[in-house]
Amino acid sequence: MATAMVISSANSLLAMLNEPHPHLKVHALSNLNAFVDNFWPEISTSVTLIESLYEDEEFDQRQLAALLVSKVFYYLGELNDSLSYALGAGPLFDVSEDSDYVHTLLAKAIDEYAALRSKELNREAVKVDPRLEAIVERMLDKCILEGKFQQAIGIAVECRRLDKLEEAITKSDNIQGTLSYCINISHTFVNLREYRREVLLLLVKIYQKLPTPDYLSICQCLMDLDDPEGVVSILEKLLRSANKDEALLAFQIAFDLVENERQAFLLNVRDRLPEPKLKPSEVPQHGSSEPVGAQNQEVNAGSDQTSPSEDVSMADEANTPVSNVMDPAEVTYADRLVKVKGILSGETSIQLTLQFLYSHNRSDLLILKTIKQSVEMRNSVCHSATINANAIMHAGTTVDTFLRENLDWLSRATNWAKFSATAGLGVIHRGHLQQGRSLMAPYLPQSGAVGGGSPYSEGGALYALGLIHANHGEGIKQFLRDSLRSTNVEVIQHGACLGLGLSSLGTADEEIYDDVKNVLYTDSAVAGEAAGISMGLLMVGSGSEKASEMLAYAHETQHEKIIRGLALGIALTVYGREEEADTLIEQLTRDQDPILRYGGMYALALAYRGTANNKAIRQLLHFAVSDVSDDVRRTAVLALGFVLYSEPEQTPRIVSLLSESYNPHVRYGAALAVGISCAGTGLSEAISLLEPLTSDVVDFVRQGALIAMAMVMVQTSEAIDPRVGNFR
């Protein structure tokens, strides 16, 4: 020990490497390996000699030489060379060693392996070094053996090793919890859509092998995989079960699917479910059961009586009286089937939401009255803003008291202000599916009632019907189509197109698409703008080839309004498509027309919404500082809010420098980016960033900052942040 303590140089050991006897070389290598942490600068002068020992295939301890060279290169900061020699060290490179050297090289190895696997699966000509693969596998096996399952899952997902992912999940002591963790990281960290599908397919396979499968999670995965058949088979199995709890689980699954509001998928599931052999009127009802809600019930009605088909009670069907002719199992199944179809149609959730919003409405009409008295009578902008404020305050509550009490004041709205005022009724009555058309009847075309003479109120009424029936337009689509076909007035066409787009959201209905396209081809600026947006709403998230057709027409037309509408419509078609949208995004962002580049920013925002994808963020930041068009720059910054809304705390940090830009359009975009991504969070950093912008020298920047501040402070009290009281 005394000798070891007085060693002050590695020169003597390095000299032994030149000795002809192999045992002396091995002795030198062993000791140098032990002292390399302290003497690596001296050893580095002889690294060529040590490398030659590794390259000598007749030398027994080649791997020891490789390990020593690897450590020297590690200290020199040459991590690529260090990893290369660590691979040559074979089992001597101990993945379980707790040292900075091992931790750093393991991280490097995993990154290198993950990058190679990614290229390999993308069919690029690469070859993965089996020694590198062996190190990663040893690391994975070590994690699984030590019970570090989350670490193993993270490495397996990053390295695209689904076999190891399955092994880590099945060997974990809490399989359900581990599967939930996997679902979370697949949505949070897996950027490639196709690879995410592979992970989710594996998770579904593992879920289905469990003694008691988690059907809620399975159906969520199947929805992400766009597999309605799989969901239908699970729902049918649960609905036919004699166990009441399984039937209730089917209802819960249906509610969870509806909450995601993927209308095309929900329609597919509902249409694939069989029709009940018994008609709803033949299904015996529960005399003593209190209905939870009713599909056709008036929001403010006092009666609890509902028709059999409207009853959405989740009560036990076991005590249902049945006649001798009916099979009790079929009666129960038919009853459950009617209910689950009602849930999947969205009507049950809408009615329950409508009842809740009506009964819990706490909006303060005095605020609106004060605003109305404070603004100038002749100021049309403030007049419209007050009407819109009322619509937002009472959204979905069906309470239009303020409008009814101020009809004379309301009648001062003209032209597009009248259009917006009428459309605002659609926001207030959102979800009032049964009464929507009768409520809007006085304003609808050819009604002969009050207000029927103005095309602006008629167009606004058709738009309002779309807002009322948004995503649930089965009962109103035909009326809107007829209204669109029967008029040549561009303002009415504008409202009808928007209404059709909203009511048929995401359905990709070809007949409606053709009707809207015919309006587009009339080359009317006002109607064409709405037609472009409507086409996008119809095809939202479909990644449809129709986008190319829309882009071609955008290049042909001379109307800026139509180009803008089509640009937004194209962006909507790639909603949630991530890397699948890259080709179209590239076309838009490289276009000479700034309006189409502006559409490209929205395409980036919607394709990568909520993913916090680094590539998308880099692209948006690039356009935010380099594009020659202020519109494009503003939209690029604003789009960051959509990409980052799942990680709101990041947004103020990312846009902080942009909020101080010399360009007011960039400052405006930064404000709204924070408002969009941090909406309802009351985030202190967001409020701090927006405060100086509310007193900006440019009026529209102040406007954007005030809107954004309101969005951030939604449902935030003074107890959370004292600045809320001052702002209000």
pLDDT tens for each residue of 294-305: 334 343 433 333
Task: Looking at the structure, tell me whether residues 209 and 248 fall in a common domain.
Answer: no
The sign of the torsion formed by the CA atoms of 220, 226, 228, 229 equals: negative
Q: Where are the alpha helices (DSSP H) in 77-174?
A: 79-88, 100-121, 130-145, 149-158, 162-171
Domain contains 158: yes
Cα-Cα end-to-end distance for the chain: 75
Whether the per-residue pLDDT at 519 is higher than 50: the answer is yes
Which tokens sit at 600? 């490209």
In this prediction, what percent of the chain has a pLDDT beyond 70?
90
Residue 659 contacts residue 670 (beta carbons within 8 Å)? yes
Task: Looking at the structure, tell me whether residues 130 and 84 fall in a common domain.
Answer: no
Residue 303 pLDDT? 37
Residue 139 pLDDT? 87
Domain boundary among 159, 179, 213: 213
Residue 629 pLDDT? 93
Domain contains 339: yes
Domain contains 190: yes
Q: How much is the average pLDDT of 661-686?
A: 93
Task: Looking at the structure, tell me whether residues 135 and 192 fall in a common domain.
Answer: yes
Give the Cβ contact number of residue 673 at 10 Å: 32
Q: What average pLDDT is seen over the chain?
A: 84
Task: Looking at the structure, tell me whether residues 72 and 128 fall in a common domain.
Answer: no
Q: Which residue is listed with tokens 């095809």?
A: 539
Rounded to 5°, angle at Cα 553 from 549 and 558: 170
Q: Which string of DSSP letters, residue by residue, matches 539-568? A: TTTS--THHHHHHHHHHH---HHHHHHHHH
Q: How much is the average pLDDT of 507-535?
A: 92
Residue 279 pLDDT? 60
> Which of 500, 648, 612 lies closest to 191 in space, CA to CA?
612
What distance in Å separates the CA atoms of residue 332 and residue 246, rounded to the nearest whole number?
13
Rounded to 5°, angle at Cα 202 from 196 and 207: 125
Residue 2 pLDDT? 42
Q: Which residue is listed with tokens 């590198």?
A: 132
What pLDDT band is residue 322 in, cutting at 50, 70 and 90? very low
Q: How many domains does the chain have?
A: 4
Task: Looking at the structure, tell me whether residues 235 and 333 fall in a common domain.
Answer: yes
Which tokens sit at 706? 């005030």
The sign of the torsion formed by the CA atoms of 205, 206, 212, 214 equals: negative
What pLDDT band is residue 326 in, cutting at 50, 70 and 90? low
Q: Between the CA of residue 453 and those of 444, 446, 450, what are the distances in Å? A: 9, 8, 8
Which tokens sit at 665? 């359009």
What pLDDT band is residue 318 in, cutting at 50, 70 and 90? very low
> Which of 447, 462, 525 lies closest to 492 in space, CA to CA?
462
Domain contains 262: yes
The string over 452-467, giving b where at least 16 C-beta atoms fall within 10 Å of a residue's C-beta and e elsewhere, is: bebbbbbbbbbbbbbb
What pLDDT band is residue 92 in, cutting at 50, 70 and 90? confident
Domain contains 74: yes
Domain boundary among 71, 92, 113: 92
pLDDT tens for each residue of 123-178: 666 788 888 888 888 888 888 988 888 899 988 988 888 999 999 999 888 888 89
Q: Which residue is listed with tokens 């057709």?
A: 549
Q: How much is the average pLDDT of 602-619?
A: 92
What distance in Å separates the CA atoms of residue 136 and residue 134, rounded to the nearest whole number?
6
Whether the per-residue pLDDT at 285 is higher than 80: the answer is no
Task: Looking at the structure, tell me whether residues 118 and 222 fall in a common domain.
Answer: no
What pLDDT band is residue 377 in, cutting at 50, 70 and 90? low
Q: What are the φ and ψ backbone dihedral angles of 155, each rounded to 5 degrees?
A: -65, -45
Q: What is the CATH number of the domain that holds 702?
A: 1.25.10
Q: How many residues does the chain have?
A: 728
What distance in Å separates the CA atoms of residue 452 and residue 492, rounded to the nearest whole number?
12
Give the Cβ contact number of residue 270 at 10 Å: 19
Residues of the domain holding 693 = 647-728
By CB atoms closer than 10 A (0-12, 13-18, 19+), residue 728 is exposed
Which tokens sit at 207? 């879920």
The string over 560-583, giving b where at least 16 C-beta atoms fall within 10 Å of a residue's C-beta and e elsewhere, is: ebbbbbbbbbbbbbbbbbbbebbe
Which tokens sit at 513? 């698409």
Task: Looking at the structure, tell me whether residues 119 and 236 fall in a common domain.
Answer: no
Domain boundary among 213, 236, 262: 213
Higher pLDDT, 346 or 250: 250
> Which of 506, 510, 550, 504 lies closest to 528 in space, CA to CA?
550
Residue 677 contacts residue 639 (beta carbons within 8 Å)? no
What pLDDT band is residue 448 in, cutting at 50, 70 and 90? very low
Residue 351 pLDDT? 87
What pLDDT band is residue 626 in, cutting at 50, 70 and 90? very high
Task: Looking at the structure, tell me whether residues 188 and 128 fall in a common domain.
Answer: yes
Q: Between the CA of residue 147 and those of 94, 140, 161, 414, 517, what are the distances in Å? A: 19, 11, 18, 70, 59
Whether the per-residue pLDDT at 369 is higher than 50: the answer is yes
Domain contains 728: yes
Task: Looking at the structure, tell me whether residues 167 and 183 fall in a common domain.
Answer: yes
Q: How much is the average pLDDT of 16-43?
A: 79
97: left (phi over 0), alpha (psi -120 to 50) or beta: beta
Q: Which amino acid is at 654?
A: I
pLDDT tens for each residue of 34-71: 878 887 888 888 888 888 888 877 788 888 888 888 88
Domain contains 547: no
pLDDT tens for each residue of 554-606: 999 999 999 999 999 999 999 988 888 999 999 999 999 999 999 999 999 99
What distance in Å separates the CA atoms of residue 608 and residue 35, rounded to the nearest whole number?
51
Residue 250 pLDDT? 92
Q: Between the CA of residue 699 and those of 379, 488, 630, what are the distances in Å? A: 17, 38, 16
Task: Looking at the structure, tell me whether residues 685 and 661 fall in a common domain.
Answer: yes
Residue 453 pLDDT? 67
What distance in Å separates the CA atoms of residue 395 and residue 404, rounded to the nearest whole number?
16
Task: Looking at the structure, tell me whether residues 208 and 262 fall in a common domain.
Answer: no
| Partners of 550 in beta bridges | none
Which tokens sit at 204? 């579904």
What pLDDT band is residue 660 in, cutting at 50, 70 and 90? very high
Residue 728 contacts residue 715 (beta carbons within 8 Å)? no
Task: Looking at the structure, tell me whether residues 134 and 229 fall in a common domain.
Answer: no
What distance in Å separates the CA atoms of residue 338 and residue 283, rounded to the nearest whole number?
9
Q: Which amino acid is at 244?
A: K
Q: How much is the average pLDDT of 619-647?
A: 94
Q: Which amino acid is at 609?
A: R
Q: Taking the model in full, what pTM does it have? A: 0.80
Domain contains 399: no
